[in-house]
Each structure stands twice: as C-alpha cells, then as structure tokens.
Chain A
Amino acid sequence: MNYIFYLLILVSIIFGAINGKLTDVVNAILSGAELSVKVAFSLIGIMAFWLGMMKIAEKCGLIEIISKIIKPVTKKLFNEIPENSPAIGDIAMNFSANALGLTNAATPIGIKAMEELQKHNIDKTSASNAMCMLLAINTAGFQLIPATVIAILIGIGYKNPTNIIAPTLLVTTIAFISAIILAKIFEKIWTKQTATSDYANKIQVKGGETCSSK
C-alpha cells in the first residue's frame, strides 16, 4: 500500500505538470479530503442502525442459524475461522445484502464481519487470509440486478434496459468466481502472516489454547 499511495500521488503530480493541470491536482487535495469526511460522516447513521440490528440478530441466535446453513461453503473459503464464530453469519448476511443490491446494509454488516475476523487475526495491523477473502468477495461486486445502471439507462431512453441484466449477471458471476479463486491462489503463494509478540504472549498465558473471542 505504501508504494501504491506514493505512485498514485507521484504520477498525478508528474502528469499534472505535463498536462498543465497542476492547479487542478492541488485543488483535488482539498476537495478529496473534504469528500472523505463527508463519506465517513454519511456512514455514521446507517452504520449505527445496522450495527444495532446485527447485535439483536446475534443475541437472538439468528446469525448462528444462518452460519449453520452456509457452513459447507464458508468452511472451504474461510478455513482459518472457527465454525461457531459469528463472523460466518455476518459474512453470509453481507453477501446476501450485496447480491440484493442493498449497499447501505451490506457495508455496515461487512465491517462488522471484519471486526469479528479481526478477533481471530494473529497480527492486528495486517490483513488475514480470511479478511482478504471477504474483501475479494466484496470488491468483486456480485449483484443480481444492476439497479443503478438500469436507472441511468432508463433515464437516457435506452430501448431495452433489461437486456443488460443477463450479460451483467454472467459477467459478475465470472468476476466473482475469479476473485475467490485468485484469493485462494494468493493465499498459498503470498508471504504468511507472522504472529505479533502481543498475540504470542496471549496464547502462552492461556496454555497453548487458541484465544477465544470473548
């Protein structure tokens, strides 16, 4: 990420200078920073709502039920995560919300799933394999109906906007499956995470048992 961050900014400044758009580039810093805070603040309300809802869902055992149903799939994809972790149910809810195009619900639930995965992470600053898998599932953007795109097409008077549903579904499925396969391949070839001393101590205190989520 260090290199990507540096490269994005370096390239912007060089090309901004070449294209004579350096003023725009500098202005973009301010507008970008402002936009970031706007985006974060616009998340507060809906985030609070879904975190509240998910807490009820967890307490009443609904998440557990969902976890049991999708266990065969998640066992393969998230093999580092204990089967009874609430993360599994959260991941299922996150995926369903995305598939139905409910982005406002999917993001808070996805973050909650990440928090659960963080409890099983051996290095709290680096992404575990399970986190990379969950991110791959989310960045692939699997969606049954591309509602926003169809709305735009209707807006411009496209003759048969629903024509794009079948090809989009096919393409999004291909991208989704590729993302999962790629995440699994990279999991094998990428440098393994090393446990931080903090985590290692915790395990020792508990007499070699893996630390529980409580």
Chain B
Amino acid sequence: MFQQVMNFLSLWALPAIILLILTMGLIKKIPIYEVFTDGAKDGFKVAVNIIPYLVAIIVAISMFRASGIIESAEILFSGILSKLHIPADVLPLMIVRPLSGSAALGVFSDIANGADSYATKLAAVMVGSSETTFYVLAVYFGAIGISKIRYALIVGLLADIIGFAAAICVCNFL
C-alpha cells in the first residue's frame, strides 16, 4: 500500500508541480513564456560558474580513488570491522559514498551480487540514506561563488558517519 502511494507520488509529482506553476501563472495574468525564458537565461551562467569548483573537487577525488588508498584501508581495518559486524566490502562504500555518487553505485553493485545477504542489505540502506556530500557542496556553493565553506563539510561528513552507524544498528536489529 505504502509502495503504491509512493509510486503514484513519484510519477505525478513533477507533472503536477509544473502544471500548478503554469496554471497559477496564467490565472494571475503573468506572461509565462516571457518570464520563463527570462529566468532560464541564468541556466548557462550558473552551470559555467560551477566549473572551477567542480574541477577542484572532482579532480582531487579522482586522484584519491586512483591512488588505491581505499583498497589499502580495507586491508588495514578488516580486523576491527569484523568485530563491529561490518562486512569488509562495505568499508570502501563508506569511504566512497560522500566522494562520488557513480563510484558508490559501482561499489554497491559489486557488493550486491544476487545473494540476499546482510552485506547487500546494509550496503543498500547506506547508499539509499545518504548523499554525495562533496559533490553537493561543490555545486551549491560553487554556483554562488562561496570558497570559505566554514563548518559545512564537517557537518555533512559527521551526519554521514551517524547515518552509517545508524544503518549498522538498524540492519543488525531489524
């Protein structure tokens, strides 16, 4: 039942929002075509503004992943992880998740290999409940030219860690 409601919502959310905006614009006698194109003009500018910030973050993260450090960490921490009921495969996922969305999905696909295992479920919950923190930060702050990020990254990463810990607890007890 919940599933059906959610499917319906995600199918109709976009068309409903678009229709609502346009209808309300017409009722209020707004020249919607002109206003739309006027607003849309900024699309290119915003995307171009983001480029330097994205290059900095994505290049650094690409280098980090290529260096093989994640695999090294997996070997190093495997002992501690097994004590905490964390399958060793899940560690790379936890490291990669805030760094790169596509890489995280790649690691997740490697873990989820058909078996209804604890590792698959844990990895699925971790991926589904978090975001690519570094990417969101680069895009959102890059668009408005913010370079001093203050505590934004710390909060994002701490929240990710809490989320991962919660995922481990929830998957162990539910």
Contact = CB atoms under 8 A, between A and B. Distances in A.
A48 B116 CA distance: 42
A14 B68 CA distance: 10
Q: Which of A54, A138, A164, A193 has the most CB of B within 10 A?
A: A164
B64 A12 contact: yes
Contacts of A13: 63, 67
Interface string A173-185: 0111011001100
Interface string B41-74: 1111011101100111111111111111101100
A213 interface: no
B35 interface: yes
Contact of A39 (B46, B58, B144, B156): B58
Interface in A54-109: 54-57, 59-62, 97, 100-102, 105, 107-108
B128 A47 contact: no
Give chain A's interface secondary structure class: helix
Interface residues of B, number: 99
A153 B162 contact: no
A49 interface: yes
B125 A178 contact: no
Contact of A163 (B42, B56, B68, B121): B121
B21 A9 contact: no
A162 interface: yes
B144 A115 contact: yes
B83 interface: no
A205 interface: no
A175 B166 contact: yes
Interface in A107-131: 107-108, 110-111, 114-115, 117-118, 123-127, 131
Given A15-B68, A158-B120, A168-B129, 14 more contacts: A24-B66, A32-B60, A40-B47, A51-B42, A52-B43, A56-B35, A59-B35, A100-B13, A110-B140, A125-B146, A139-B136, A141-B131, A152-B112, A175-B166
